[in-house]
Amino acid sequence: MTLNSATPAFVDHLRAELPAAAFREASPAYLEEPRGRWQGRAGVVVAPDCTADVAKVVRAASEAAVPLVPYGGGTGLVGGQLCPEGALPVILSLERMRAVRGIFPEENVMVVEAGMILQDIHEAAARVDRIFPLSIAAKGSARIGGNLATNAGGVNVLRYGNARDLCLGLEAVLPDGQIWQGLKRLRKDNTGYDLRNLLIGSEGTLGVITAAALKLYPRPAGEGTAVMVVRDPRAALDLLALARDHMGEGVSAFELMHRQGLEFLAQELPDIRQPFEERPEWFVLIEVGLARGLDPAGALETLFGEAMEAGLVSDGMIAQSEAQRQAFREVREQIPEANRRVGSVSSHDISLPMGAIPEFVEKGREAIAVLGAFRINCFGHLGDGNLHYNIFPMPGKTRADHDAERDLIKRALHDLVDEMGGSVSAEHGIGRLKVDDLERYGDPAKLSAMRAIKAALDPKGIMNPGAVLRAV
């Protein structure tokens, strides 16, 4: 399919359809992505303030066969939000659609527009004594439309699920400009194919999400946080099972960290207070939110006692104040920043069947050792089987020294993940970064179904061309 650039004539046509306030300068903010790997381009940047105007933009792009890139907070890590080649696209930013359309505390539902910033959603939920549990590092700038388009994950997936699990309904503009009015606030609705989940995670290639009905949750009556030193990832898994025996769904986060992360933190962010005098090889951060009648710190203490007896943990601390909880969390939250400062050779957002994680950690280390001497920082959302597996140069070397090995490392690790039944993109998506990986590791029947769906819903291929599927 040949696409046409958003030429000045096309832009004039849009200007006749939309209010002047909808047009934005194509500033660098719209053309860069956090990893700095691609440079975007734009024929025009538009930011409509209502769904009807989004539909006008999509219809115009469809009629003229001009590529269209939906734009949220620009925080995606796989280059899904920009278009580095081909015809000059329309960048369609949802930044002006950030209204709360309704809050229904008794239903545990909030209906918001796609441009609302995740952090603002958290605050709106808190004002009615509820939580919206999706939480990611970029929450201060990521917008919910993008979170849904990429099916964002984060730290609370163990308890509350991914973005798709937190959405009851969508309003979206389909590639032909039709508006799907799917903002239902229902927990049960079996009326036809699941278009909601098809759009969620499709990374803007099948339509533009303009609003969403989100699930809220009651705030747990009491929250608690602990760090515990575990023997190894196997013991961490056993500890998780024990914690769930004790507290059921009350376990909201279970994060594994490695000494390497603490060493990078000490080196790059020395002001961050570390929980242990002597840095352990492996430790976990556990967060729980319990119902009335239970004392979270007490429950964590009981858990720690039993885990000690079972030989799973050797040391631990249970936060005794909100400040201490924040301090424990900050260690986890700042590890990615320390990583960034050190500069990884290669970083991997992978998931595995939980039971396979201990074996993967060992085999991964062996596979990397064959390729050279590296430092590995393996950490992440163990409770979801999601590891961030990042590989760094040895001290004195830099990322650039290993340019030649990068592809080999990636291949070795991803082959191993695939062999063990894992995923080479656990929570960040495919975007433009992993199109090759999807072709290599994706199931052929699924890929052919995906291509058929894409061609059926977007026959001209205008929606975010080149993301997820290679542009045809």
Segment 211 to 230, residues that bind a second copy, using CB under 8 A: 218, 220-221
Q: Does 421 bind a second copy (CB under 8 A)?
A: yes
Subset of residues 383 to 412 that bind a second copy, contact rule: CB under 8 A: 384-386
Residues 151-180 that bind a second copy (CB under 8 A): 151, 153, 157-158, 161-162, 164-165, 174, 178-180
**3 state SS of 343:** coil
Contact segment (CB under 8 A) with a second copy among 200-208, 311-319, 366-374, 393-401 equals: 200-208
CA dist list (Å): 379 to 212, 262, 350, 390? 32, 11, 11, 8
Interaction with a second copy in 261-300: which residues (CB under 8 A)? 289-294, 299
Span from 69-77, 273-281, 319-327, 428-436 in contact with a second copy (CB under 8 A): 428-436
Out of 11, 50, 124, 198, the only residue in the binding site for a second copy (CB under 8 A) is: 198
Q: Where are the alpha helices (DSSP H) in 18-88?
A: 51-64
Residues of span 68-97 touching a second copy by CB under 8 A: none
Least separation in angstroms between CB 94 and a second copy = 19
Residue type, 397: K
Between CA 210 and CA 219, with CA 215 as vertex, the angle to 5 degrees is 135
Rounded CA separation 317/134 (Å): 26
197 sits near a second copy (criterion: CB under 8 A):
yes
Shortest Å distance, C-beta 322 to a second copy = 20
Residue 272 φ/ψ region, left for φ over 0, alpha for ψ in the -120 to 50 degree band, beta for the rest: beta
Tell me how far apart the alpha carbons of residues 173 and 181 are, in angstroms, rounded to a whole number.
9
Smallest separation, CB 206 to a second copy (Å)? 8
Residues of span 100-119 touching a second copy by CB under 8 A: 104, 106-107, 109
Distance in angstroms (rounded) separating the CA atoms of residues 165 and 168 = 8
Least distance to a second copy, CB of residue 91, Å: 23
Spatial separation of the C-alpha atoms in residues 435 and 449, rounded to whole Å: 16
Interface positions, 5-64, toward a second copy (CB under 8 A): none
Task: By CB under 8 A, tell whether 445 contacts a second copy.
Answer: yes
**Strands, DSSP E only, in 204-278?**
208-215, 217-218, 222-230, 251-258
Number of residues that bind a second copy (CB under 8 A): 96
The reply on whether position 190 binds a second copy by CB under 8 A is yes
Give the list of residues 6+ apart from residue 437 with CB closer than 8 angstroms, or none. 414, 424, 425, 430
Of residues 332-371, those binding a second copy (CB under 8 A) = 351-355
| Cβ atoms 376, 282 nearer than 8 A | no
3-class SS of residue 6: coil
Nearer to a second copy (CB atom), residue 198 or residue 371: 198
- Closest separation in Å from C-beta 14 to a second copy: 22
237 binding a second copy? (CB under 8 A): yes
User: How far is it, in rounded angstroms, from Cα 298 to Cα 320?
Assistant: 10
Q: With respect to a second copy, which residue has the nearer C-beta, 123 or 189?
A: 189
**156 near 188, Cβ under 8 Å?**
no
Rounded-to-integer distance, Cα 382 and Cα 389, Å? 12
Residue with smaller CB distance to a second copy, 131 or 345: 131
Binding mask 122-151 vs a second copy (x if CB under 8 A, - otherwise)?
----------------------------xx
Taking CB under 8 A as the rule, does residue 470 contact a second copy?
A: no
Token reading at 348: 């991997």
CB of residue 333 vs a second copy: minimum separation in angstroms?
18
Per CB under 8 A, 457 contacts a second copy: yes
